[in-house]
Structure 1
Amino acid sequence: MIVKLLKAISGLFIMPWGIRIFNPDKIFKGKRIAVIGAASSAYEKELGAYIDSFDIVIRINKALTTWRQENEVFIGTKTDVLFHSFYENNLSGGGPLDFQLFEKRNVKYVVNPINNKEGWRLNYNFYKKYNELKVTYLLSNAYYREIEQPFNGFKPTVGYAALYSILKSPFKEVYITGFTFFKTPYSKGYRDDLVDMEANKRHIAAQGLHDPDIEFREFLKMLEKNNEKSIILDDTLKAIVTNN
């Protein structure tokens, strides 16, 4: 009991020194960016070297803790930014916050995009649990409110927050793979319990947290607004967008 209390107090003192605000406009300005999601479409072509050639490579949630050597030829090895929910459970969250692994993989920014009471609670839980001074990042509160505004009570996924942060920034070029807005299965090894599409639909409905249709609609709007900029979609996402 005393140990838990000391950790709770210590976490309160550590957190203000650890948290920073992530500024997409500044960090992504003029950069070539690759963002890799968890859908199986990321494994359709051997583009690992191509992905690693980008100035900034962004991955989502369990991407590093589920990465395997055989994945390299498809999705590369480089990770500059990890967008993570800070829910550490494997079932519905982002998986372990393994900073030893993140530092080994040269991750520069670990970003929890959720800047509201929930986001600050999740960050506090992290500092309370580990009691280490690790630098973590949040989007600004105003920026996150802008992201969640169209969702009518639903929560934007971490993957959508990453896409929004990129596509609203003054980027030079973007390559998007592994995002299909739950219209295709997860990649093997990421969430094998939800590879079946019907099971995944039931899971999303049971959670009642996210609305992939709203995310896709807003994504299409962002593509339209950026139609003069260089945005490269993987073949599966390109087909989904074209059909809509």
Structure 2
Amino acid sequence: MAMNHQNSSPPDIGNRNRPHTELIDRIPIPPRRRPRPSKIQALWARLSLAISPLPNAADALQTLKGKKVALVGNAQSLTLQKYGSQIDSHDIVIRCNRAVLKAADSHGTKTDWFALSQHVDLEMIQQRNASRALWFSQNRKYLPFWMVQRQFSSHLLTAEEYRSICVGSGLARPSTGFMMFHLAIESDCEMLTLYGFDFFKSNSTSGDHTATTTPHNFSAEEAVITERAKRDTRVTICI
């Protein structure tokens, strides 16, 4: 399925005098290795979150009300498409994990939210001019320290929210993209369009897993999302 958008010039990020291809070239690709926090940082993080928890992920959804939302996955097949201007034309663009931008014409350049289950540096978040980050992994070991320090507008998916997604979908370990889809579709957004979701028919630009090693059940996720798209006119999957 594909949405018929009129092409429009994607908004500039950072320096408005630089071409988008240059903007993509200067965006660092975060390392695949997950940095481990020091013991002091880990202890400080646990105490800080126990005393003053970060806002729930669901609390961010009110900002999606009435908005046209693009949820961009990391399928390698997206590099073969020309969805960049469509992606950037949305009110809110949400990208997942490392969110590698291969080219402006395929991936766009706009990033408003990051949905994370992998560590990324705050520098990359800031260079993308993002406004919000949501942490989905229930393993807090790799929670970026900048989130704990409240250096950025950050949200955590609570254990209750995680269990609700698992029970509602029948998935034991949903992917980051699937969890973000679940939250977004439960919001009052006007439109939700998925790009870069081929459910691991091609490998991911965001990690080292292959279709045989991934811990997620992408066939089941595809069934849930496509079924929802059939009965919810707000949802479109661009393949």
Alignment size in residue pairs: 200
Over 3 Å counting, the alpha-carbon distance change for 1:58 and 1:132 in structure 2 is same
Over 3 Å counting, the alpha-carbon distance change for 1:153 and 1:223 in structure 2 is closer
2:189 alignment partner, one of 167, 171, 187: 171
Contact 2:228-2:235 at 8 Å conserved across structures: no
Quick check: 1:74 aligned with 2:106?
Answer: yes
Quick check: 1:231 aligned with 2:238?
Answer: no
For 1:130 and 1:110, the matched residues in 2 are separated by 8
Q: Which amino acid is the alignment partner of residue 110 of structure 2?
A: K
Over 3 Å counting, the alpha-carbon distance change for 1:10 and 1:26 in structure 2 is same
Q: Which amino acid is the alignment partner of residue 211 of structure 2?
A: K
- What residue number does 1:110 align with? 133
- What residue number does 1:62 align with? 98
Alignment of 1:1-244 (within 5 A): 6-15=40-49, 16-17=51-52, 19-23=54-58, 25-63=61-99, 66-68=100-102, 71-85=103-117, 94=118, 96-114=119-137, 118-123=138-143, 126-127=144-145, 132-135=149-152, 136-150=154-168, 154-186=172-204, 190-191=206-207, 200-204=210-214, 209-226=215-232, 229-234=233-238, 236=239
Q: Which amino acid is the alignment partner of residue 134 of structure 1?
A: Q
- Superimposed CA distance per residue, residues 190-229 of structure 1 (whole angstroms, 9 cap, x where no aligned partner): 45x65xxxxx23213xxxx321122122213322331xx3
Q: Percent identity?
A: 22
Could you list the runs of 4 or more consecutive aligned residues of structure 1 that deviate by over 6 angstroms after TM superposition?
none
Contact 2:169-2:224 at 8 Å conserved across structures: no
Residue 231 of structure 1 and its aligned partner are, at CA, apart by: 2.8
Contact 1:17-1:133 at 8 Å conserved across structures: no
User: Please, which runs of 5 or more residues in structure 1 have no aligned partner?
Assistant: 86-93, 195-199, 237-244
Over 3 Å counting, the alpha-carbon distance change for 1:141 and 1:221 in structure 2 is farther
**Bigger helix share:** 1
Q: Which amino acid is the alignment partner of residue 39 of structure 1?
A: A
For 2:181 and 2:147, the matched residues in 1 are separated by 29
User: Please, which runs of 5 or more residues in structure 2 have no aligned partner?
Assistant: 1-37
Over 3 Å counting, the alpha-carbon distance change for 1:74 and 1:14 in structure 2 is same
Residue 130 of structure 1 and its aligned partner are, at CA, apart by: 8.9
